[in-house]
Chain A
Amino acid sequence: MDSAISAGGWVCLLSPLAGAVAIALAGGRISRRAAAWISVLTTFVAFGGALVVFVGLWAADPSDREHVSTAYTWLSAGNFDVELQILVDTLSSTMMLIVSGVGGLIVWYSVGYMEGDDEERRYFAYMSLFVFSMLLLVQAGNFLLMLVGWGLVGLASYLLIGFWHHKPEAVAAAKKAFVMNAIGDATFALGCVLLIWSTGSLEFGDVFGQVDSLSSTTVNLVALGLLGGAVAKSAQIPLHTWLPDAMEGPTPVSALIHAATMVTAGVYLLVRASPIFEAAPDVQHLAAIIGAITLLVAGVVALVQWDIKRVIAYSTMSQIGYMFLAAGIGAYGYAIFHLMTHAFFKALLFMTAGLVIHHLDGEQDIRKMGGLRSIMPRTHVAFAVGGLALMGIPIFSGFWSKDGIVSAAFASGDALGYTLYVAGLLGALLTGLYTTRLYFAVFRGEPSEFVKEHAHEGHGEGPRSMTIPVGVLTVLATIGGLVVIPGVWEPFLHWIDETAEPLVQATVAEDYGTSAIAVSLALIGFYLARRAYEKGRQFVTNPGIWRVLEHKLYFDEAYDALFYKPAAALSVALRRNVEEPVVERSLDEIGSGTIQVGGEVGRVQSGLLRTYAVAVAFAVCVLVVVFVAVR
C-alpha cells in the first residue's frame, strides 16, 4: 500500500511536467489540437494519481497517513541536507485532488475557449507547467522545495497573464503580478533562511518538532516571513493590487490560477505551517485581521466595477480573505474546506463568464450586457448556481464552508473573535450585494442592443469541451459542500484535522445560529441589489465615494507615489549627479590620459638597434651595482 501511495504521488507530480515538456519539444510537429489534448490527458492522469493517493490514505490506518517519499538528496552542505522529497498526507492529498481535478476541468474547457488562437501550443505548455508547479507546491516535503513550486507558479502565472503579448495592458499586468509576487517570495525565502539558521533543517517534520525550542523573536520573524509570502500570493491587502489586473489573461487562466488554485496557495501555506504560526499567535492573528480587512475592502470595491471578470476577481480576494480569517483563528479544516468549495464555484463563475465573453466576441463590460438569460439558458443556470454558492445560500457548497468560518470566529471568543465575526457577517451582506448586481446586470432584463447585435441564432452556448466541464462544476458547486454538515457528519473536517489540529471548534448551536444570520444578510443583500437594479440605481450614489472605490481606494496611486516615483527620481538624480560627472568622465579621463602618456613614452622607442643594446648594457650594469650594493 505504501508503495502505491508514493507511486501515485510521483505520477501525479510528474505527469503534467511530462505533458509540458512533450508539448514544448514537439513544437510544430504536432497539431494544435494534439497539444491541447496532451495537456488535458496528462492533467487527468495526475488526477488519477491523486485519487490513488487519496484512496490509499483513506484505507490506511489513521496513524499511518503521512508518507514521505525521497527521490534523492538534492543539496548537501555540511550537516544541512535538502532532499527532493514529496510529502503526502491528508492535507496535501486533498490539495492534490483539488488542483488536478479542477485544473483538469479547466484545461479541458480551454480546448474550446482557445480554439483558433495562433499560439495554442504555447498556451497548453504553460498550463501544464502551471499544474506541475502547483502540485510541486502542495506536495513538497520541505520548505525549499515548496519555495521552488512557489516561484514556479509565479512564473507560470506571469507567462499566462502576459499570454496575449500583443496587448500592452496584458504585458504590464504580467510584470505587475510578477513584481508583487517577488516581494512575497523574498520574505518567504528570508523566513526559510532564518529557519536554516535556527533549526538547521527545512524539512516540515524537523522544523515543526523544533518550533518550541526557538526564541519567540525568531518564531515571530519566521512566521512574518511566511505570512508575507502568503499575503502576496493570495492577493491580500496590502499586496493585492496585481490580482484585478491579472484578469488581462485568458479567462480559463483567471479561473485556474487567479481563482481556484494559485491564489489559495497562501492559505495552504498558513495551514501547512500551522505549528509555526501557533507558536507566534500575534502573527497568526495578524493573518486573520488581514483576511478580514481584505474581505470587506474587496467586497466594497466589487460593488462599483464594470468589468465582469474584475467583479469576480474582487470577489475572489474577498473569499480568500475568509480563508485567511479561518487559518488565522486556527479553523484549519474550514479554511481548506472553503478553499475547496471556492475552487468549485469560483472556477464555475469564471468559466460561465468565459462563455458569456466568448459569446459576445470578447466583450467584458457588464454595462453592454443584459438579458442573456433567454439567449444562454444553460449558462444562466450555471452562473446562478455559482452565484448562490458564492452568496452562501443553503444546500449550495459555499453555505457550508463560509458559515463555518464565521461561526468559528464567534467561537474563538474575545474582542478579536467578535470583531472578525462581525466582519465575516458584513462580508456575507456585501457578497449578496455584488453577486446579485452582477447577475442581474448580465442575465436579467431585456437584451441590450449590443447583445442583440452579437448573439446570433444557432451559435449555441459554446463547444462541448466548454459546456461539459461547466456542467461538472455546476454539480460540484451544488453538492460539493455536503461533506460537512455541522453536527451530523463532518468527514472532511476530521480528515484535515489529522494534519492540522484546529484551535477552535464552534458548537452546533453557534453554527446554525450564525448560518441563520449570514443567510438572512445574504438575502437582504439580494433583495437590496434587486431593488436597486429594478430602479436602475447603483448602491453607491455619492460621486466622491464612487470615485474612491473606482480607483480601488487609491492603492495603485499610493504605491506609485510611495515607491515608484521616489525610485525613479533617485535614479534620475544618480544618473545626473554621479554617473555622468563622476563615472563617465573619469572613464574618459583614464582613456585620454593613457593616450597622452603613451605618446610621451613612445619617443623612447627610437627604432635604433644600437641604442637598445646600450640601454640593455647600461641597465645590466645598474642592476649589478644594485645587487652588489644591497648585498
Chain B
Amino acid sequence: MDGPDVGWYLIVAAILFGIGALGVMMRRSPLIVLLSLEIMLNAANLTLVAFARQQGNLDGQIFALAVMAVAAAEVAIGLGLIVAMARRRVPLDVDQASALRG
C-alpha cells in the first residue's frame, strides 16, 4: 500500500482532536467553540478514512460522508443560535449562558 503508515494519520488526527477539545474546553466565544467542534469531528473523519484505506473497503469513507452531513446540519443550527443570541443582545459568552444551573 502506498503512502505513509496508518499510524501517522492517527497521530495527526489525535493532535487535531486535542486542539479541538482544548478549544471547546477553554474558549468562551460560542463561535470558536463551534469551530473547535468541527475540528474534532474532522479529526474523527480523518481516522475513519485512514482506517478505510488500511482495510481496503469503503465503509469508513461512507461513514465520514455521513459525519460531514451531520456536521453541516449542526453548523447550520449552531450558527443560527449564535445569530439569534446576537440579535437579542445576549452576550456572546458561553460562561454567561448558564440558565441550566441546578
Contacts and interface: CB of A to CB of B under 8 A. Distances in A.
Contact of A605 (B26, B28, B94, B100): B100
Contact of A617 (B25, B95, B101, B102): B25
B102 A602 contact: yes
Interface centre among A602, A608, A609 (most CB of B within 10 A): A609
A interface bracket (residues with beta carbon within 8 Å of B) = 10 to 19
Interface in A206-230: none
A605 B25 contact: no
A603 interface: yes
B24 A606 contact: no
A606 B101 CA distance: 4
A604 interface: yes
A610 B24 contact: yes
Interface string A587-606: 00000000000000111111
Contact of B102 (A603, A610, A613, A614): A603
A5 B83 CA distance: 89
A607 B99 contact: yes
Interface residues of B, number: 14
Chain B contact residues: helix, strand, loop or mixed: loop
Given A614-B25, A617-B21, A617-B25, A609 B102 contact: no
Interface string B84-102: 0000000000110111111
B13 interface: no
Contacts of B21: 613, 617
B102 A607 contact: yes
A607 B101 CA distance: 4
A104 B68 CA distance: 85
A621 to B, nearest CB: 10
A604 B26 contact: no
B95 A610 contact: yes
Contacts of A614: 25
Nearest to A614: B25
A310 B45 CA distance: 95
B33 interface: yes
A610 B94 contact: yes
Interface string A562-605: 00000000000000000000000000000000000000011111
Given A617-B21, A617-B25, A609 B94 contact: yes
A338 B37 CA distance: 97
A608 B33 CA distance: 13
Interface of A: 601-610, 613-614, 617
Interface of B: 21, 24-26, 28, 33, 94-95, 97-102
Q: List the 8 shortest-distance A-B pairs measured between CB atoms, nearest first.
A: A607-B98, A607-B101, A605-B102, A602-B102, A607-B100, A609-B94, A613-B24, A613-B25
